[in-house]
Amino acid sequence: MRVAHVITGLGIGGAETMLYRLLSALPRAELESLVVSLSSPGPMAERITAIGVPVASLGMSRGLPQPFALAHLARELRRFRPDLVQTWMYHADLLGGVAARLVTSAPVVWGLHNSTLDPARTPWSTRAVVAVCARLSRRIPQSILSCSEVARRVHQSLGYDAARMTVIPNGFDLGAFRPSAADYAALRAELGLAADTVLVGLVARWHPQKDHVNFVEAAAHTARQRPEVSFLLVGTGIDDANTQLRDLIAATGLGQRFRLLGERTDIPRLTAGLDVAVSAAAFGEAFPLVIGEAMASGVPCVVTDVGDSAMMVGTTGRVVPARDPAALAAALVEVLALPTQERRNMGAAARARISTEYDLDSVAARYADLYRSLARGSRSCSG
């Protein structure tokens, strides 16, 4: 079976990372894949081609879909002759769905990876695309996959066809993300910290959605009560060149307790070196990968109640309201006050939850089963 994956872009992000992981876990002997990026290749393209999946990039600029991109995409799909087209994110849902309908008889699966569309924070062009997709959701896709329950409910309220919607959560590789005493020790050595330093970490790019203001303020409250704790921040734009972040940390008067590592490719190693992981998101998250990655690494999590974060963590961590640094700090202090072994037990329970509910192989099997079912149905109809 040939499956074409159409995605808005291949930068570093949740949907892009999940596409890469899915492609690495799908049965290669049965499924031949092609990835088409509407924009430039991006860093994730190299990872995808490294596992043997070809990538075509259309070079579309950000904003509203453009006619030339639709024509180029149609040519790519006509050449590949897919048995199914899976699209990822709004612009790809629209353009990929229309192109598939124009030049193939393949069933179309849309992908939803966002939980809110606040007009104050979402570009008007994106909201326009979503409105068009809602109208077309009864005509173009055979199935609409949401990575979270919250995203499903939000898009249903926006007019998406509820009858076509299915939730398949993101999946996590428990081989790549795992507890590691060696990584735990090596991270402290790399940072020049004492071996017994407690590390609280936030892995997130610099963006209002990730709410670094919330994290830094909560970290400052925590640091004053827990002198053994340092704070690790990792992600695109998280470095000394970021004057906003640097000034925010300086205002706490505790700058020596923070480490900024910028964009890194060794996230599994860094995550395994944490004592507690934080997701401080304010809005927009659907099913945050960083939470599942930390849980798979045996690290207890303190998260804001955004998207499916609370459902992911369950009873293995702590959940607090968004945009409430006092509540976030209180939860951190509570977890850090636990005896070391009890905190490790929380982490072990978190890893067991990922293994049971969100293992990558199980999630990939659900995608593959859906693809087979839709492709068989399409062949039956055409026959």
Q: Write out pLDDT tens, residues 32-49.
A: 999 999 998 889 999 999
Please tell me the predicted confidence (pLDDT) of residue 315: 96
Please tell me the predicted confidence (pLDDT) of residue 300: 98
- Tell me the C-alpha distance between 290 and 268, whole Å: 10
Nearest CA to 164 among 179, 143, 183, 140?
143
CA distances from residue 158 to 84, 134, 285 in whole angstroms, order as listed = 26, 7, 17
Whether the per-residue pLDDT at 289 is higher than 70: the answer is: yes
Average pLDDT over residues 271-297: 96
Please tell me the predicted confidence (pLDDT) of residue 116: 78
CB 282 within 8 A of CB 306: yes
- Tell me the C-alpha distance between 133 and 131, whole Å: 5
Average pLDDT over residues 10-26: 95
Average pLDDT over residues 174-186: 98
User: In the numeric block, which tokens belong to residue 160?
Assistant: 């998406």
**Average pLDDT, whole number, for the chain?**
94
Greater pLDDT, 60 or 166: 166
Greater pLDDT, 257 or 124: 257
Average pLDDT over residues 79-107: 96
Residue 308 has, within 13 A of its CA and on its CB side, a CA count of 24
- Cβ count within 10 A of residue 71: 12
Task: Report which residue type is found at 206.
Answer: W
Q: Which domains does the chain have, with CATH numbers?
A: 2-171+359-382 (3.40.50.2000), 181-357 (3.40.50.2000)
- Tell me the C-alpha distance between 82 and 374, whole Å: 12
- Tell me the C-alpha distance between 288 and 278, whole Å: 11
Average pLDDT over residues 55-78: 83
Interacting residues of 191 by C-beta distance below 8 A, sequence separation 6+: 230, 232, 259
CB 160 within 8 A of CB 137: yes
| DSSP at 359 | B
What is the percent of the chain with per-residue pLDDT over 90, rounded to a whole number? 89
79-91 as b/e: b if 16+ CB within 10 A:
ebebbbbbbbbbb
- Cβ count within 10 A of residue 55: 20
User: In the numeric block, which tokens belong to residue 185?
Assistant: 């020790």
CB 141 within 8 A of CB 110: yes
CA distances from residue 192 to 188, 219, 237 in whole angstroms, order as listed = 6, 20, 22
Task: Report which residue type is found at 146.
Answer: S
Average pLDDT over residues 235-240: 96
pLDDT band of residue 69 (cuts 50, 70, 90) is confident
Whether the per-residue pLDDT at 63 is higher than 60: the answer is: no
> By three-state DSSP, how is residue 6 classified?
strand
CB 323 within 8 A of CB 214: yes
Beta-sheet strand order (sheet of 318-320)? 258-260, 229-234, 198-203, 276-279, 301-304, 318-320
Q: Which tens digit of pLDDT belongs to each residue from 24-33?
A: 999 999 999 9
DSSP labels for 300-352? Answer: -EEEES-TTHHHHHTTSSEEE-TT-HHHHHHHHHHHHTS-HHHHHHHHHHHHH
CB 269 within 8 A of CB 186: yes
Please tell me the predicted confidence (pLDDT) of residue 379: 61
Whether the per-residue pLDDT at 377 is higher than 80: the answer is: no
- Cβ count within 10 A of residue 102: 13
User: In the numeric block, which tokens belong to residue 366?
Assistant: 């659900």
Greater pLDDT, 59 or 370: 370
Average pLDDT over residues 237-241: 97
CB 319 within 8 A of CB 310: yes
CA distances from residue 237 to 240, 267, 370 in whole angstroms, order as listed = 9, 15, 37
pTM for this entry = 0.92
